[in-house]
Amino acid sequence: MSLKSNYRDGDSFSRKSKKEGYRSRASYKLKEILEKEIKVSKDQSVIDLGSFPGGWSQVIKNLLGHSGKLVAIDIQPMEPIKDCFFLEKPIEDITEEDFKEIKEFLPFDLVLSDMAPNISGIKERDDSLMIDLVDRVLFVIDSFLKAKGSVVIKVFHGESLDYTNNALKERFKNVKIFKPKASRPNSKEIYVIGKELKII
């Protein structure tokens, strides 16, 4: 398959996202992950890390009922989503105090991260930056995810995938590596899914 056809196929998801009102083509990556791997029920609470522009948050909000809660966090402002609790701050700086308005929804049932660093093309640097982002997700898992909860984390093939896979195997009963169809075939991104957080 040529590079040109890869991007043409990928652009079909971009066109579909505009047509269906999603803020990014990444929405379809999460939709496939949830359809095949993780069931989100209407009474759950979900935290979306690095949420801008909000494509993943839109997908989750459509699945949660009024009894559930979506929390989104990013260092840049995000256009509001109805009934979404948004925090504009670095992930590593969040505390329980930030959630005092919605404390009845803690701990979370599901942690999501579609974060990625700005790619330099220098493999060692990019791996290091991605691992730094993964560590921020692990901080949230260790601090705010309930027992038997789940996580979805985007990483790159290579060192950050191995690092994340090992870190999740320490914490979760079931760990799976997944590449959605909406990811471009030539993309190095891949998702690691952890299910059933162990009670330690």
Q: What is the CATH number of the domain that holds 119?
A: 3.40.50.150
If you search the block for the tokens 């471009």, which residue do you land on?
A: 184
Give SS3 for 163. Answer: helix
Hey, which residues does 189 pair with through a beta bridge? 156
Return the CA Rg of the chain.
16
Interval 42-57: pLDDT, tens = 999 999 999 999 999 9
CA dist 145 and 175 (Å) reads 16
* Entry field: residues in the chain: 200
Interval 94-132: pLDDT, tens = 999 999 999 999 999 999 999 999 888 888 899 999 999
Chain-centroid distance, C-alpha 171: 17
Q: Which of 164, 159, 167, 166 is nearest to 191 (CA)?
A: 164
Helices (H), 37-158: 55-63, 123-144
pTM (predicted TM-score): 0.89
Q: How many domains does the chain have?
A: 1
Q: Where in the sequence is the domain holding 78, given as residue range(s)? A: 3-197
Selecting among 82, 154, 181, 188, the annotated active-site residue is 154
Residue type, 98: D
Catalytic (active site) residue 18: no
